[in-house]
Structures are given as C-alpha cells and as structure tokens.
C-alpha cells in the first residue's frame, strides 16, 4: 500500500484540541476523508473517521445519539448512562468507520498525515511572515514616499513633485 496524497485543512485555533482535517489517497485509487489531527497530552496524533453511536427509544423505537436526554422523535425522556463502557470506565460514544488493522499501517498513516500537517503549518507561518512584511511596506508614510521619490532631484523639482502629490490627494474629495 502506498499513500499517494495527503491533503490537510487546518482548523482555526480555539479551546478544542482538533487542529486539522485530512484526506488520504491510497494507490491513486481509494480516498479516506475526515481523518483528524488532534493535539493530545503527548503531542499530535491522528484519529480515524468515526460516527456517533446510537440506540433506540424504548417508547417509539426512534434512533438517538447515546448522549441525548430526550428522544428526537417522540420527546420521551431517555435513560441515563445507556452507553457501553470501555475498560477504563469511559462511555464509548463513537465508532471508527475506517481504521488500520495493524500497527505498521497505523504508523504509516500517522507519519504521512503528521508530515503533511507540519508542512501545512510551516507554509501558513511563511505566508503570515510575508503578509506582515508586506503590511509594513504598505504603511510607509507619504513623507517617506516623497523623500524616496525626490531623492536625487534638485529642490525645485522636489517641491513641484510634492505639490503634484498634494493636489492628487485632494482631487475627487467631496464628489460623492
């Protein structure tokens, strides 16, 4: 198996630990979407695409997520703690849609996704640096521009250039 492409879309920072979504293309033939890059206590890791687990309402047999307190169909109150617990006592609320069968495959996927994630983070940092540099260039004062433009000109040419600039600035004011 060869991962031929990994596309990463960064998520805006917030209180959530979710950092990015990713899509993988395998052998130019198969795509897996909605892998998640999550910031954990030991660093970044990749979570496989998953869906919320549901159960049925005892009154109307409607489907509801395990955290729901009331039925979406009939409005009946649902029993608490309906979710199956894992070995650590945590409620199992999601199940993976697609996942690797062995650790070698998981490591391959995680390495490729995290490499693409770090590359995307670096490109955003580079774009941010060049944007702030351009902003600094755009905030040059008119006096600096006049000084730069008039460098090398005699005083009369420099003064006429400043007058043209000031008349250009006032042109069109108050028309609308």
Evaluate whether residue 17 is within a structural domain. yes
Domain extent at residue 153: 141-169
Q: Which residues contact 33 (CB under 8 A, 6 or more apart)?
A: 21, 23, 49
With bands split at pLDDT 50, 70 and 90, how would you rate the model's confidence at 85?
Answer: confident
Instruction: Judge if 132 and 155 occupy the same domain.
Output: no
Contact by Cβ (8 Å): 11, 26? no
**Where among 61, 93, 125 does a domain terminate?**
93
Query: Mean pLDDT lowest for which of 45-49, 75-79, 96-100, 153-157?
Result: 153-157
Q: What whole-number distance in Å separates Cα of residue 140 and Cα of residue 106?
A: 52
Evaluate whether residue 176 is within a structural domain. no
Instruction: Judge if 80 and 161 occupy the same domain.
Output: no
Instruction: Judge if 75 and 160 occupy the same domain.
Output: no
22 or 86, which is more confident? 22
Range 116-144 average pLDDT:
70
Instruction: Judge if 41 and 102 occupy the same domain.
Output: yes
In the DSSP assignment, the letter for residue 69 is S
148 or 128, which is more confident? 128
Instruction: Judge if 38 and 102 occupy the same domain.
Output: yes
Say what the pLDDT of residue 131 is. 66
Helix 142-150 × helix 155-170 angle, to 10°? 140
Instruction: Judge if 43 and 102 occupy the same domain.
Output: yes
Instruction: Judge if 5 and 45 occupy the same domain.
Output: yes
Q: Is the pLDDT of residue 133 over 70?
A: no
Instruction: Judge if 74 and 32 occupy the same domain.
Output: no
Q: Is the pLDDT of residue 57 over 50?
A: yes
Instruction: Judge if 42 and 106 occupy the same domain.
Output: yes
168 or 33, which is more confident? 33
Q: Is the pLDDT of residue 164 over 60?
A: no
Say what the pLDDT of residue 82 is. 87
pLDDT, averaged across the chain = 80
Evaluate whether residue 3 is within a structural domain. yes
Evaluate whether residue 174 is within a structural domain. no
Instruction: Judge if 7 and 29 occupy the same domain.
Output: yes
Instruction: Judge if 88 and 119 occupy the same domain.
Output: no
Evaluate whether residue 175 is within a structural domain. no
Instruction: Judge if 88 and 116 occupy the same domain.
Output: no
Domain count, the chain: 3
């Amino acid at each position: 198996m060869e991962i031929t492409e990994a596309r990463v879309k960064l998520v805006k920072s917030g209180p959530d630990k979710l950092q990015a979504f990713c899509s993988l293309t395998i052998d130019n033939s198969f795509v897996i979407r909605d892998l998640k890059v999550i910031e954990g206590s030991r660093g970044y890791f990749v979570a496989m695409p998953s869906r919320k687990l549901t159960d049925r309402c005892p009154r109307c047999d409607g489907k509801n997520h395990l955290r729901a307190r009331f039925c979406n169909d009939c409005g009946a109150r649902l029993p608490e703690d309906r979710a199956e617990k894992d070995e650590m006592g945590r409620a199992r609320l999601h199940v993976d849609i697609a996942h690797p069968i062995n650790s070698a495959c998981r490591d391959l996927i995680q390495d490729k996704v995290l490499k693409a994630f770090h590359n995307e983070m670096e490109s955003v940092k580079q774009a941010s640096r060049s944007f702030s540099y351009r902003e600094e260039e755009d905030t040059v004062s008119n006096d600096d521009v006049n000084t730069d433009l008039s460098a090398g000109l005699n005083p009369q040419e420099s003064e006429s250039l400043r007058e043209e600039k000031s008349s250009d600035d006032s042109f069109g004011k108050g028309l609308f």
